[in-house]
């Protein structure tokens, strides 16, 4: 473990230098890694591990997603199986169904978890909320997680570009005495940049907060608020969209990603700097109570309850599509589609 100073707090992290790919391959040389589910994380993780030289198979029920797996080069009967068969063959079971679907499939997975096998998650959800999910792994299997901090789509894209997303890892149960090494090897195998350690509870709590907060929920909320104010004051959709979203994603966030917020500020006008320095604190103060409310709702398990109840409904996909289309059809994101189509690389 490398000791890294994160803003004055020292933490232990696992880097690719100290745990190279060759070591990960050695650790998992005798394992059959069965990726169950081929949604968003399934393809990213399985393809990265396959390209990294691991022994990987995919378990996916028949349908559109199964066909996508075939198109991605998984061979039916050789590396692509029905879920039950993949569960049988796998020694490390990567449970990558949606968190709600994991509840339904758990009895099948549990039956396949013979002593000595490992159960791998990419979220702390299932076991942390075991009273709600019923996911209680048998005592004689290793249980760990590697949670890439980003979309499976980015996990794959960055891997192909020779880069990597960071992931957290955690051990829930160490039956073999080797769970930690296996977890780290899996983390390296799926293409993580570096790995930081957490536990299942902290992973799920921070993850649910982040995606409801600045990563997805809060960002759309703040975009919508500013866009509406600009439009109400007579600005055109293209002006409002450019000043709210396009400039952020195309110009300023890449600068933040590269060298931090202060560096992005330093590369803007003194006029912009003055305004941004004056206004970030009022925005923090206005939104902090909402973040506190959000965190409490995660902590009380209300968010888990909502997620399970809503995503377990038979018509959840249709209902989801209605909500997603509300976003897609909104003036702001329609303006966004037009703005994107005008980017020089797309014209
Ligand atoms: N989406 C991400 O990028 C992301 C990022 C980090 C962690 N995670 C975690 O990874 C795990 C997988 O998430 P995901 O977003 O990739 O899942 P997903 O919703 O994209 O994938 C669902 C998969 O499960 C299958 N499925 C759904 N219901 C099923 C059922 N009843 N029986 C059998 N198969 C069924 C689907 O065919 C699909 O292959 C979750 O624990 C999630 O929290 C996801
Ligand atoms: C990609 C995210 C938001 O980080 C993940 O947590 C998810 O649930 O999809
Ligand atoms: Mg999440
Ligand atoms: Mg996340």
Residues 182 and 236 in one domain: no
Residues 136 and 238 in one domain: no
Q: Which residue range is the domain that position 222 belongs to? A: 213-346
Confidence category of residue 347, pLDDT binned at 50, 70, 90: confident
Model confidence at 209: pLDDT above 90: yes
Distance in angstroms (rounded) separating the CA atoms of residues 121 and 99: 10
Euclidean distance between the first and final Cα of the chain, in Å?
A: 48
Mean pLDDT on 89-110: 97
Residues 177 and 272 in one domain: no
Evaluate whether residue 204 is within a structural domain: no
Q: Which of 47, 118, 122, 123 is catalytic?
A: 123
Q: At what angle do helices 302-311 and 316-329 cross, to 10 degrees?
A: 100
Confidence category of residue 321, pLDDT binned at 50, 70, 90: very high
Residues 24 and 161 in one domain: yes
Instruction: Looking at the CA of residue 147, tell me the nearest atom of ligand 2.
Output: 6
pLDDT of residue 115: 97
Evaluate whether residue 10 is within a structural domain: yes
The residue assigned the tokens 């973040």 is 291
Model confidence at 221: pLDDT above 90: yes
Evaluate whether residue 310 is within a structural domain: yes
Residues 190 and 289 in one domain: no
Evaluate whether residue 99 is within a structural domain: yes
Residues 181 and 301 in one domain: no
- Write down the pTM of the prediction: 0.97
Q: What total of structural domains would you count in the chain?
A: 2
Distance in angstroms (rounded) separating the CA atoms of residues 246 and 344: 13
> Do 110 and 88 touch, CB atoms closer than 8 A?
no
Model confidence at 192: pLDDT above 90: yes
Protein residue closest via CA to atom 17 of ligand 1: 98
How high does pLDDT run on average in the chain?
97
Instruction: Looking at the CA of residue 104, tell me the nearest atom of ligand 1.
Output: 31
Mean pLDDT on 246-262: 98
Residues 219 and 152 in one domain: no
Confidence category of residue 1, pLDDT binned at 50, 70, 90: confident
Contact residues of ligand 1, CB 6 A cut-off: 37-42, 60-61, 65, 96-99, 101, 104-105, 122-123, 125, 147-148, 151-152
């Amino acid at each position: 473990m490398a000791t890294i100073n994160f803003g004055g707090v020292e933490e232990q992290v696992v880097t690719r230098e100290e745990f190279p790919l060759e070591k990960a391959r050695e650790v998992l040389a005798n394992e059959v890694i069965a990726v169950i589910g081929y949604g968003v994380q399934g393809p990213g993780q399985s393809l990265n591990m396959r390209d990294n030289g691991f022994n990987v198979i995919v378990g996916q029920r028949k349908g559109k997603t199964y066909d996508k797996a075939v198109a991605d080069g998984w061979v039916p009967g050789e590396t692509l199986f029905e879920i039950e068969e993949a569960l049988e063959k796998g020694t490390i079971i990567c449970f990558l169904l949606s968190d709600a679907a994991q509840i339904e499939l758990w009895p099948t997975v549990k039956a396949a978890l013979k002593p000595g096998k490992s159960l791998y998650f990419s979220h702390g959800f299932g076991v942390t909320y075991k009273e709600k999910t019923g996911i209680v792994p048998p005592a004689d299997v290793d249980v760990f997680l590697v949670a890439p901090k980003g979309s499976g789509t980015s996990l794959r894209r960055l891997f192909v570009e020779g880069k990597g997303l960071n992931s957290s890892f955690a051990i829930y149960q160490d039956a073999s005495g080797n769970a930690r090494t296996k977890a780290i090897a899996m983390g390296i195998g799926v293409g993580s940049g570096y790995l930081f350690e957490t536990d299942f509870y902290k992973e799920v709590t921070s993850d649910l907060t982040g995606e409801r907060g600045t990563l997805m929920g809060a960002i759309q909320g703040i975009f919508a608020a500013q866009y509406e104010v600009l439009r109400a004051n007579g600005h055109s959709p293209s002006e409002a969209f450019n000043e709210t979203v396009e400039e952020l994603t195309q110009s300023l966030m890449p600068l933040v990603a590269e060298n931090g917020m202060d560096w992005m500020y330093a590369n803007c006008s003194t006029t912009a700097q003055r305004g941004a320095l004056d206004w970030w604190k009022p925005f923090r103060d206005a939104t902090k109570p909402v973040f506190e409310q959000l965190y409490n709702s995660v902590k009380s398990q209300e968010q888990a309850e909502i997620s399970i109840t809503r995503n377990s409904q038979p018509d959840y996909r249709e209902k989801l599509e209605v909500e997603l289309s509300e976003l897609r059809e909104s003036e702001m994101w329609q303006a966004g589609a037009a703005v994107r189509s005008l980017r020089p690389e797309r014209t």
